[in-house]
Amino acid sequence: MTLTTTHELPAFIGGDKTNLIGGQWLPATSGNTIDVINPATGGALGTIAAGDAADVDRAVKAARTAFEGEWSRWTPHERRKLLLRVHDVILENFDELAMIETLDMGAPLSRTQGLREWTSQVLQFFASQTGAGTVAAPPNSLPGHILTLRSLRPVGVVGGIIPWNGPLIGLWWIFGPALATGCTAVLKPAEDASLSVLRVAELMTEAGVPPGVINVVTGYGKDVGAALAEHDGVDRIAFTGSVGTAQTIVRASAGNLKRLQMELGGKSPDIVFADADLDKAVPGAAMGVYTNSGQVCVAGTRILVQRPIHDEFVERIAEFTQTIRVGDGLDPDTQLGPLISGRQLDRVLRYIEIGSGEAELMAGGRRPEGEGSGGFFIEPTVFAGATNDMTIAQEEIFGPVATVIPFDTEAEAIHLANATPYGLAGGLWTENVGRAHRVSQAIDAGTVWVNCYGILDPAIGFGGTKMSGYGWKGARDHVESYLYPKAVYMNI
Ligand code: NAD
């Protein structure tokens, strides 16, 4: 456990933050605020606006006005240049953004600074997609001289709702396709982590994004999120979060039949076959669970291990787990920061208690020694001797908790991997190419990693199946989901 020494904080930290609506920074109509808490210390870092339906209504109207105004006449080339300007401004300020994210949600600087290259890729990818709506004149089978034109038109105002576990990633999945396609957006970040989103919005404005094209309304889900889901002026909701909230949004959005994108949770399997290279599989599978203190939707939390190597694997992952440094994210030696909040810490501790009753605790399971900083720290934790039907193997914990489950045959591994309501991701470790092909196809999940875990290319993208939701982030599919097809038949 390492504690922070003194750091110079970005000037953006502190004070009362407001919402970006139609190019203006405005406090919540109600005047209410929410304290911003540094999860590494429990200390306050200022406030954000506690918006509500009135602020959402203003933001949606501003987004509609922008959508129908000058922005609709921007050419694909102009939008591409804008995205590249945003790219440059964001990258110039990335050290500051990384520090804001670390202070606001706890992830170590090594992780938040590590997002620099990914951010560059994601912005360049969306910049390359601005021609997606281009008109084409495909040949047709109609008699006479009918000219058919097919184009893709922007769907309109997009409401984005994102969680706290990676705002600097989540926001680009909304703003990127919106700017690429000519949509406008109202983004609601999580009440526990809004600061980096607000700073990015400020920088985007400086980069020349016109008023109303992007808007940010902070506040609680039951107020801001629910109002966005219901608002008839919103054409599409892009949601990332939990299954329960997604179900509420699906119901709330029925009024005007919004298009929906749902990126939800997971309980992803990571299968270690007896022929795996354990020098890679042990740290790879462990960090597949622990990265970002386990607060990752694709975390490979169910580690299925083939019986001949099971005991050796358990011993090695327990040893590896004990070497991981937990501490304040500002410390360069920190590998895992705190959990986001006291609420999340209680939730993870509750699952550890349940796990201790159903399986064998091999490492971790406690708050780190030296605790007393007021932060929400927890040791990375491994359970072994588990079966797939246990609570810790079925429910998403969203903390650094790995559950090791033994298996005998490839068929059993596939059966166990798919014995979950979720279908977000999965992994496998093997030196056998045939098995890599067979098993990666057989796992029911949107993304499967072989001999690696958690890497993501925006041009390939990712998404889920089953209760992990629908819609694809990244790749052309994502861009096209911000567009609707239109056919024009011309008798000329
Ligand atoms: P959550 O569902 O509680 O909150 C997500 C967002 O929804 C927050 O901004 C919240 O304020 C808002 N919200 C809450 N109630 C709402 C309502 N009634 N109407 C509209 N919005 C509302 O999720 P969380 O606990 O903050 O995030 C963790 C979850 O997100 C996990 O399940 C995780 O797996 C998932 N996640 C998925 C992905 C993915 O891409 N698949 C990525 C990251 C996180």
Rounded CA separation 101/119 (Å): 14
Bridging pattern class, strands 360-363 and 184-188: unpaired
CB 165 less than 6 A from any atom of ligand 1: yes
CB 173 less than 6 A from any atom of ligand 1: no
Q: What is the 3-state secondary structure (H, E, C) of the chain?
A: CECCCCCCCCCCCCCECCEEECCEEECCCCCCEEEEECCCCCCEEEEEECCCHHHHHHHHHHHHHHHHCHHHHCCHHHHHHHHHHHHHHHHHCHHHHHHHHHHHHCCCHHHHHCHHHHHHHHHHHHHCCHHHHCCECCCCCCCCCEEEEEEEEECCEEEEECCCCCHHHHCHHHHHHHHHHCCEEEEECECCECHHHHHHHHHHHHCCCCCCCEEECCCCHHHHHHHHHHCCCCCEEEEECCHHHHHHHHHHHHHHCCEEEEECCCCCEEEECCCCCHHHHHHHHHHHHHHHHHCCCCCCCEEEEEHHHHHHHHHHHHHHHHCCCEECCCCCCCCECCCCCHHHHHHHHHHHHHHHHHCEEEECCCCCCCCCCCCCCCCCEEEECCCCCCHHHHCCCCCCEEEEEEECCHHHHHHHHHCCCEECEEEEECCCHHHHHHHHHHCCCCEEEECCCCCCCCCCCEECEECCEECEECHHHHHHCCEEEEEEEEEC
Q: Identify the pLDDT of residue 371.
A: 63
Q: Identify the pLDDT of residue 6.
A: 60
Instruction: Tell the residue number behind the tokens 């810790």, with chain if given.
Output: 392
Tens digit of pLDDT at every position of the chain (492 positions):
444 446 789 999 999 999 999 999 999 999 999 999 999 999 999 999 999 999 999 999 999 999 999 999 999 999 999 999 999 999 999 999 999 999 999 999 999 999 999 999 999 999 999 999 888 999 999 998 999 999 999 999 999 999 999 999 999 999 999 999 999 999 999 999 999 999 999 999 999 999 999 999 999 999 999 999 999 999 999 999 999 999 999 999 999 999 999 999 999 999 999 999 999 999 999 999 999 999 999 999 999 999 999 999 999 999 999 999 999 999 999 999 999 999 999 999 999 999 999 999 999 999 997 666 789 999 999 999 999 999 999 999 999 999 999 999 999 999 999 999 999 999 999 999 999 999 999 999 999 999 999 999 999 999 999 999 999 999 999 999 999 999 999 998
Residue 381 forms beta bridges with which residues?
Answer: 401
Q: Identify the pLDDT of residue 134.
A: 85
Contact 483, 154 (CB under 8 A): yes
Q: Identify the pLDDT of residue 61.
A: 98
- What pTM was estimated for this model as a whole? 0.97
Say how many Å lie between the CA of residue 165 and the centre of ligand 1. 9
* Ligand 1 atom at minimum distance from 424 CA: 41
For the chain, list the domains and their CATH numbers.
16-264+468-487 (3.40.605.10), 269-450 (3.40.309.10)
Say how many Å lie between the CA of residue 490 and the centre of ligand 1. 46
| Residue of 48, 161, 239 best suited for mutating to test ligand 1, as the one with most atoms within 8 Å of CB | 161
CB 396 less than 6 A from any atom of ligand 1: yes
Rounded CA separation 362/364 (Å): 7
Sign of the alpha-carbon dihedral angle for 405, 411, 414, 420? negative
Contact 108, 102 (CB under 8 A): yes
Question: Crossing angle for the helix pair 76-92 and 115-127, nearest 10 degrees?
Answer: 170
Question: Crossing angle for the helix pair 76-92 and 172-181, nearest 10 degrees?
Answer: 150
What is the tens place of the pLDDT at every residue in 246-264? 999 999 999 999 999 999 9
CB 245 less than 6 A from any atom of ligand 1: yes
Structure tokens at 42: 């429990």
CB 238 less than 6 A from any atom of ligand 1: no
Structure tokens at 53: 């339906």
CB 214 less than 6 A from any atom of ligand 1: no
Structure tokens at 458: 């925006």
Instruction: Tell the residue number behind the tokens 């980096």, with chain if given.
Output: 196
Rounded CA separation 82/46 (Å): 31
* Ligand 1 atom at minimum distance from 469 CA: 41
CB 163 less than 6 A from any atom of ligand 1: yes
Rounded CA separation 70/81 (Å): 16
Residue 425 forms beta bridges with which residues?
Answer: 447
* Ligand 1 atom at minimum distance from 241 CA: 30
Contact 141, 489 (CB under 8 A): no
Rounded CA separation 350/344 (Å): 10
Bridging pattern class, strands 269-272 and 302-306: parallel
Bridging pattern class, strands 472-473 and 462-463: antiparallel
* Ligand 1 atom at minimum distance from 220 CA: 11
What is the tens place of the pLDDT at every residue in 339-397? 999 999 999 999 999 999 999 999 999 999 766 678 999 999 999 999 999 999 999 99
Atom 16, ligand 1: residue with shortest CA distance: 221
Question: Crossing angle for the helix pair 195-206 and 76-92, nearest 10 degrees?
Answer: 120
Q: Identify the pLDDT of residue 1.
A: 45
Say how many Å lie between the CA of residue 470 and the centre of ligand 1. 15
Instruction: Tell the residue number behind the tokens 């306050």, with chain if given.
Output: 44
